[in-house]
Structure 1
């Protein structure tokens, strides 16, 4: 019975090794490919410009609110309690407006990123799929992913870049 168990274990090992060898595995440096794509460079530039505009708008509103707050603080001793209460309510309203501006800017930025990077991601995924089929790869893993445990397979980065027409 013991010999049968050892024989069975040996057969399982041989089958496992042959199955593992039958699978073609490749890695690709996704960030390297993405950063080399001209479309991504343009999208990054557009998004940075968009973000700069939104941050400037928020800064302008924040600076105006800060100046008004300092003015109100300086004038507070000379004003009535009702006037100071009204000014506090006005400052709270300004703070709420600034917070809403920030939230809207964040949502707008996310929407702009989705629109800009969607076609780039699709193009990259299509190129990876085409390279995988052309070279018989069963798996292509991101070489930078923390989940990568084995990186001795072929590297498809050059083939994907060639497919995309970039260096």
Structure 2
């Protein structure tokens, strides 16, 4: 019985080693490919322009609020309590508007990123799938992933770049 168990364990080890060797695994540098794609470069530039515009609008409003705060602070001793209370409420409202602008800008940015990067991601995934099928890879792992433990298989980065027509 003991010999049968040892034999069974040996057979399992041989089968599992041969199954592991049968799998073709490759790695791919996703960030390298993405950064080489002209679509990504254009999307990044569009996102940066959008972000710069929104930040400028928010800064303009914040600067106006700071100027009002300075003015109201300087004039406060000369004003009545009711006037100061009204000015304080006005500043509070302005602060809330700035916060709403920031929140809206963040949501708009996320939406713009989703629209811009969705087709790029799909194109990249389709190319990776095509390369994997053409080369018989069962797994392609991101070479930049922190969970990546071993990188000994072939690198499919060049093949995916070629499929996309980028350098």
Q: How would you bin the TM-score normalised by the shorter chain? A: over 0.9
Taking only aligned residues, the RMSD between alpha carbons, in angstroms, comes to: 0.7
Distance 1:96 1:161 in 2: 47
Matching of residue 150 in structure 1 with residue 135 in structure 2: no
Which residue number in structure 2 is paired with residue 25 of structure 1? 25
1:6 Cα deviation after fit: 1.7
1:150 Cα deviation after fit: 2.1
Distance 1:58 1:3 in 2: 78
Pairing 1:50-65 to 2, within 5 Å after superposition: 50-65=50-65
1:121 Cα deviation after fit: 0.3
TM-score, normalised via structure 2 length: 0.98
Distance 1:12 1:149 in 2: 24
SS at match of 2:147: coil
Distance 1:90 1:96 in 2: 10
Pairing 1:1-167 to 2, within 5 Å after superposition: 1-167=1-167
SS at match of 2:50: helix
How many residue pairs were aligned? 167
Q: Give structure 1 stretches of 5+ with no counterpart.
A: none
Residues 28-53 of structure 1, C-alpha deviations (whole Å, 9 max, x = no match):
00000000001100100110011000
SS at match of 1:141: strand
Distance 1:100 1:70 in 2: 22
Distance 2:16 2:42 in 1: 47
Distance 1:39 1:107 in 2: 22
Residues 114-145 of structure 1, C-alpha deviations (whole Å, 9 max, x = no match):
01000000000000000001001111111111
What stretches of structure 1 move > 6 A for 4+ residues in a row? none
Distance 1:37 1:148 in 2: 24
1:4 Cα deviation after fit: 2.0
Q: Give structure 2 stretches of 5+ with no counterpart.
A: none
SS at match of 2:141: strand
